[in-house]
Amino acid sequence: MTDTGTCVKISPETLSILKNFASINPSLLIRKGSKLNTVCPSNRILAEAQVAEEFPIEFAIYDMAQFLGIVSLFKDPVFEFKDTHLVIASDGDGNNRSVKYFYTNPEFIQNKGDKKIKMPQSVVNFTMSDKDLGSVMKAASILQAPDMCVTNEEDMIAIRVCDKKNPTGNSWQLLVQENDVDASFPFWFTIDTLKMIQDDYEVSIASKAVANFKGKTVPVQYWIAMSAG
């Protein structure tokens, strides 16, 4: 077996996506190519990103938090891919620091993100801005509310943050856009499944218990399972 010795410089944008994916699953299998996939242990969140870098081999990381901590030691990190490990160093910092990081066995990675979802026909479509997403998460934190509901409020699509088990509890609501759907609906999500990276999202919700959040500026999308109403 021979070392590949291929070097790839990792952009801040890709590191941000890797950090986000680590919040979904603490382990990650990175396949050869430029597409990253992950899925949470409960199978309720699946994420996919198309990054600028081209990874030359398939490799597995068991502890993403530790791995990203190591990468943070370097400015403008460069990965040199060997057969059994990475050599991580800074691009041109001249101080000769590096870390040898060994791949884990892919068999140790649960939920490798190899599932493919064919999105059913959507019944509700709207845009959730970066600001809206931040407001939802802030409201959920302040209210200690575990649920988000997408519903129709007269002629508007509304996002409500609340505790669906407590109808007299405090709630927060945001009117998103005009509603052109000729149907009455609430679609429920648990706040802890909303692990999207900050961005504006095109949201498509299907009646069959799944929603797609597609980033408008970051090349990432998520499929999130809804909770029972």
1, pLDDT greater than 50: no
Let me know if the fold of 6-108 is the same as that of 122-225: yes
CB 120 within 8 A of CB 162: no
113, pLDDT greater than 70: no
Residue at token pair 């910092």: 93
For the stretch 190-219, pLDDT in tens is 999 999 999 999 999 998 789 999 999 999
115, pLDDT greater than 80: no
144, pLDDT greater than 80: yes
SS (HEC) of 111-149: CCCCCCCCCCCEEEEEEECHHHHHHHHHHHHHHCCCEEE
Structure confidence at residue 2 (pLDDT): 43
The CATH class that applies to domain 6-108 reads alpha beta
Angle between helices 64-71 and 12-24 (to 10 degrees): 160
Sign of CA dihedral 85, 88, 52, 115: positive
Structure confidence at residue 114 (pLDDT): 67
Structure confidence at residue 94 (pLDDT): 59
CATH code at 122-225: 3.70.10.10
What value does the mean pLDDT of the chain take? 91
For the stretch 37-75, pLDDT in tens is 999 999 999 999 999 999 999 999 999 999 999 999 998
| Amino acid occupying residue 171 | S
Domain-by-domain residue ranges, the chain? 6-108, 122-225
